[in-house]
Amino acid sequence: MGANYDVIIIGAGPSGIFCAYELMKRDPGKRVLMLEKGRSIEKRSCPKRTTKVCMGCKPCSITTGFAGAGAFSDGKLSLSPEVGGTLPDILGYEAASELIGEADQIYLSFGADKKVYGIEDMAAIEEIRAKSIRADLKLIECPIRHLGTEEGYKIYTRLQEHLLESGVEIRFMTMVEDILVEDGAVKGVVTDKQETFFAPEVVAGVGREGSEWFSHICRKHGIGTQNGTVDVGVRVEVRDEVMKELNEKLYEAKLVYYTPTFDDKVRVFCTNPSGEVATEYYEGGLAVVNGHAYKSKDKKTHNTNFALLVSKNFTEPFKSPIEYGKHIAQLGNMLCDGKILVQRYGDFRRGRRTTGERLMRSNIIPTLKDAVPGDLSLVFPHRIMVDIDEMIRALDKVTPGIASDETLLYGVEVKFYSNKVVVDKEFETNIRGLRAMGDGAAITRGLQQASANGLYVARCILGKEKEH
């Protein structure tokens, strides 16, 4: 027989952390077990940061471990309910806004920077909005609190210490193999160490990295899901001078475009002023591109990077959006011996491969040093190529210079939001006592809404117990 708990939380990302935080704050005697397949935060380190070569660590410390992918991300907290997930659709705009504010206060209490970007120079923001409207782009205004990669790491370290001191039992390097279900209700979990833990409430907060695992669990146990979205695209890198106005006035410009040829949604995501393009590794060694920026001046670069993501929604009979996104990324890996492909926009537009010689003649020096010059047309379907090209041309009207020949496009960036789990207003699935939250369930798409989601799920659990 295994041990008994009140609540088991699968995954120690932002949604799991804030769920555990709220449970212990409101009911300090609660027996809470958190299971995380990665390492504790102080043991999370990426050798590539020093060696510049991926060592194929299992599990990858960039995407797994305490704080999830958030620990090594740029740590941007989007303070508007319009950005980062579907909480407003489930809970209503006002309730989502209130929860985001509460999560923000917790981050502040653990040391987050008090400065908020994107609210200072309203006259300049109005001018940017006017330019966007003329280019058929929608500017989504979203105040941003920037933790920074190194400061975010410190904040999550304090949160880990707090949870352990509060009595949360956290087991690292422990993968959940299966969820126990009996008579339509959750009973507990089984780990890869063949340990069984029981609880009447199990919360899946597995993050993007765990979305494929959760998809498998849902199929096995008949947990209701819908075909979700997969976002596929490139990471764009330009000199800071090109993005100066947007960086200074908004820090992160959230721009959405519906392309003229195919009417596909393309969005600007995760802008990193003076940042670095980075590689992220998923299970099985899949390399995808990402980006981050540091707070400290000595770690800043001269380049800004951001993602351009094309949102693909699939209809029946298609059932494999995650695999579709991975397949495109694998094509890129195949051409570059497991690395990230980079192409100049001028070559992208002319349909020719970028060479090392052409890369060297530009003003812009790539920040991802081991990226391989190549041809994205051998990776992306034609439709996605057209979408990216039309988005870059539209953005050039707002911030001239983005459509210059030397702009760098790195591929493939892919966001797996695909396992859209069907939940009620208390985030309970059709299995009683099993709740799903955060990015891995396609409910949120970022740190702040995931954190807010965790707070709310904890209150739902405590509310249900009061009823009984």
60-83, pLDDT tens digit by residue? 777 788 988 876 666 889 999 988
What does the pLDDT look like over 236-262, one tens digit per residue?
Answer: 999 999 999 999 888 888 999 999 999
Given this model, what pLDDT does residue 146 score?
84
DSSP 265: E
Mean pLDDT of 415-444: 90
Mean pLDDT of 180-204: 97
Given this model, what pLDDT does residue 285 score?
87
The pLDDT of residue 298 is above 90:
no
The pLDDT of residue 445 is above 90:
no
Given this model, what pLDDT does residue 73 score?
66
- Ramachandran quadrant class, 194 (left: phi over 0; alpha: psi -120 to 50; beta: rest): left
Contacts 24+ apart (CB under 8 A), 126-130: 128/245, 128/246, 128/249, 128/250, 128/253, 128/398
Query: Which residue would you say has higher pLDDT here, 322 or 383?
Result: 383
What does the pLDDT look like over 90-114, one tens digit per residue?
Answer: 999 999 999 999 999 999 999 999 9
The pLDDT of residue 170 is above 70:
yes
- Decide: residue 258, CB within 10 A, 0-12 exposed, 13-18 middle, 19+ buried: middle
Contact 205, 440 (CB under 8 A): yes
Comparing 411-420, 438-447, 451-460, which segment has the lowest mean pLDDT?
A: 411-420
Phi, psi of 125 (to 5 degrees): -65, -40
Q: To the nearest whole percent, how much of the chain has pLDDT over 90?
A: 70
Instruction: Establish how many alpha carbons lie within 13 A of residue 17's alpha carbon, considering only the half-sphere containing its beta carbon.
Output: 30
Contact 277, 237 (CB under 8 A): yes
What's the fold here for domain 7-112+147-224+422-467?
FAD/NAD(P)-binding domain (3.50.50)
What mean pLDDT is reported for the chain? Answer: 91
DSSP H helices, 36-188, are 48-51, 87-91, 93-109, 122-134, 149-166
CA distance 293 to 291: 7
E-strand spans in 362-452?
372-373, 408-421, 434-436
Comparing 37-41, 281-285, 374-378, 384-388, which segment has the lowest mean pLDDT?
A: 281-285
CA distance 7 to 454: 13
**CA angle 409-414-416, nearest 5°?**
170
What does the pLDDT look like over 260-270, one tens digit per residue?
Answer: 999 999 999 88
Residue with tokens 């209503």: 92
User: Which of 33, 60, 398 is closest to 247 using CA atoms?
Assistant: 398
Mean pLDDT of 294-308: 91
User: Which of 344, 364, 422, 453 is closest to 103 using CA atoms?
Assistant: 453
Query: Which structure tokens are listed for 13?
Result: 């990302």
Give the H/E segment covering residue 457.
Answer: helix 447-467
What does the pLDDT look like over 9-32, one tens digit per residue?
Answer: 999 999 999 999 999 999 999 999
What does the pLDDT look like over 110-141, one tens digit per residue?
Answer: 999 998 888 778 899 999 999 999 999 999 98
Phi, psi of 186 (to 5 degrees): -75, 145
Comparing 340-344, 390-394, 408-412, 438-442, which segment has the lowest mean pLDDT?
A: 438-442
Domain locations along the chain: 7-112+147-224+422-467, 122-142+227-417
Query: Which structure tokens are listed for 287?
Result: 């390399």
DSSP H helices, 310-446, are 321-335, 345-350, 356-360, 382-398
Mean pLDDT of 144-169: 91
CA distances from 149 to 70, 193, 276, 293, 299 (A): 9, 33, 11, 6, 11
Query: Which residue would you say has higher pLDDT here, 297 or 291?
Result: 291
Query: Which structure tokens are listed for 240?
Result: 């800071």
* Residue 51 confidence class, pLDDT cut points 50, 70, 90: low
Mean pLDDT of 347-358: 96
DSSP H helices, 202-344, are 211-221, 244-250, 321-335
The pLDDT of residue 418 is above 70:
no
DSSP 3-state helix, strand, coil percentages of the chain (rounded to 5)? Answer: 40, 25, 35
**CA angle 198-38-45, nearest 5°?**
160
Give how far the C-alpha of residue 79 lies from the chain's centroid of Cα atoms, to the nearest Å. Answer: 15
- Give 169's strand partners: 33
The pLDDT of residue 399 is above 80:
yes
CA distance 254 to 142: 8
Comparing 13-27, 35-49, 223-237, which segment has the lowest mean pLDDT?
A: 35-49
Mean pLDDT of 369-374: 96
The pLDDT of residue 374 is above 90:
yes
Residue with tokens 């009979």: 317
**What length does the chain have?**
468
Mean pLDDT of 220-241: 92
